[in-house]
Amino acid sequence: MKRGLESKNLESEIKTVADKFVEAISDKEVFIISHFDTDGITSATILVQTLKKIDKRFSLKIVKRLEEQIILELPKDKIVIFLDLASGSLNYLSRMNLENVFIIDHHEIFQEIPPKLNIINPHLNGKEELSSSSLVYLFCKQLNGENKELAKLAILGMIGDSMEKSIDKLNNLIINDSEIKRRRGLLIYPSTRPINRTLEYCSHPYIPGVTGNAIGVTKLLRDIGFSSANGKYKSLIELDDEEMSKLVTSIILRNPKIKNKEIIGDIFLLKFFNKLEDARELSAIINACSRLGESETAVQFCMESLKAKKRAELIHTKYRQFIISGLKSVSESEKIEGNGFVIINAKEKIKDTI
């Protein structure tokens, strides 16, 4: 790894790299390459929106992985910035001898860092629990201080990488900027939708006889004494403590492998499209779009385009159906189990991006 940044405070390193970036882009276009998962998409959107504010030209490329060919084709007349990737491709980058390359990433570094590379990575500073979107948000605050409305995107990226369970000082700073509502509850999403729909499409945890089964959902709710009012059930966030306890017990009885502490935690609610939404659902929608080859829709959704919202929701429904179908296939397939591993041959039944 080597660079000698370990002694330098992460916040000051972000400022140093941001200052270099501002200087580098004064007369050049920015070429952004970002990963295709939720963290990468939200990172890209935060930077794109910031560059628009400061009137800088840019182009954006979303990739599933950073292959050598992509690096070989990097433009030499633009400022290249990698988001949520490239920490594992430093050897390739060093051979290219590119000027003014920037990386904002949270993945571990196992290779020598090229001397001309500008990199923000919490592993260099002893901080490991920051998503790339959180880093990009803090970086962009240095470029333009009036960026608080983008903090919610950093939260979505953080949740997309399952980092909401270990929140430190910097993440708390972002949460405060985002004006997010945080409450304790059942970690099944969306917590803002009628509970029957939430349970039917619940894939994490997988609930045998309930996930993907509307009749099974109705039976579960009837068994614990839940009824609908005017044909509509309560949402998870509307349940009282007794109702929540009954629901949790019923879920665990159907899947004894689930532990109470695994499905109870912090729920994050934020305003998106002028409506209070479950951050986990928004994160899942972004992820679904990219996983099914619609990264452009994912970025536009993050920008709160109404047209993209309709398409993204359709894609998400399709993706959830793929997930549920895949989980059923896995539960019904023969498995080879060993010490700490399980091998399942899904064949063509499950897409490699699911």
Tell me the average pLDDT across 192-201: 92
Burial letters 93-110, b for 16+ CB under 10 A, else e: bbeeebebbbbbbbbebe
Q: Is 202 helix (H, G, I), strand (E, B) or coil?
A: coil
- Domain around 315: 183-344
Structure tokens given for 172: 């708390």
Average pLDDT value over all residues in the chain: 88
Instruction: Please tell me the total count of domains within the chain.
Output: 2
pLDDT band for 5, please (50, 70, 90 cuts).
Answer: very low
Question: Does residue 140 sit in the same domain as residue 50?
Answer: yes
Whether 166 has a pLDDT exceeding 80, the answer reads no
Please, are residues 300 and 316 in contact by the beta-carbon 8 Å criterion?
Answer: no
pLDDT band for 281, please (50, 70, 90 cuts).
Answer: very high
Is residue 351 in some structural domain?
no
Angle of helix 132-143 relative to helix 38-53, nearest 10 degrees, comes to 10
Question: Does residue 252 sit in the same domain as residue 144?
Answer: no
Spatial separation of the C-alpha atoms in residues 142 and 122, rounded to whole Å: 17
Residue 54, φ and ψ in degrees, nearest 5: -95, 15
Please, are residues 295 and 44 in contact by the beta-carbon 8 Å criterion?
Answer: no
Is residue 165 in some structural domain?
no
What is the predicted pLDDT for the residue at 349? Answer: 66
Tell me the average pLDDT across 201-208: 86
Q: Of the candidates 149, 172, 198, which is a domain's last residue? A: 149
Is residue 171 in some structural domain?
no
Is residue 133 in some structural domain?
yes
Question: Does residue 138 sit in the same domain as residue 54?
Answer: yes
Q: What is the pLDDT of residues 303-350, one digit of tens each?
A: 999 999 999 999 999 998 888 887 777 777 777 787 777 887 776 666
Is residue 125 in some structural domain?
yes
Question: Does residue 144 sit in the same domain as residue 86?
Answer: yes
Question: Does residue 95 sit in the same domain as residue 223?
Answer: no
Question: Does residue 80 sit in the same domain as residue 229?
Answer: no
Spatial separation of the C-alpha atoms in residues 330 and 283, rounded to whole Å: 24
Angle of helix 295-302 relative to helix 279-291, nearest 10 degrees, comes to 150
Q: What is the pLDDT of residues 25-53, one digit of tens each?
A: 999 999 999 999 999 999 999 999 999 99
Question: Does residue 58 sit in the same domain as residue 206?
Answer: no
Question: Does residue 205 sit in the same domain as residue 144?
Answer: no
Question: Does residue 187 sit in the same domain as residue 114?
Answer: no
Whether 293 has a pLDDT exceeding 80, the answer reads yes
Q: Which residues pair with 206 in a beta bridge?
A: 203
Is residue 237 in some structural domain?
yes
Spatial separation of the C-alpha atoms in residues 215 and 204, rounded to whole Å: 19
Whether 7 has a pLDDT exceeding 90, the answer reads no
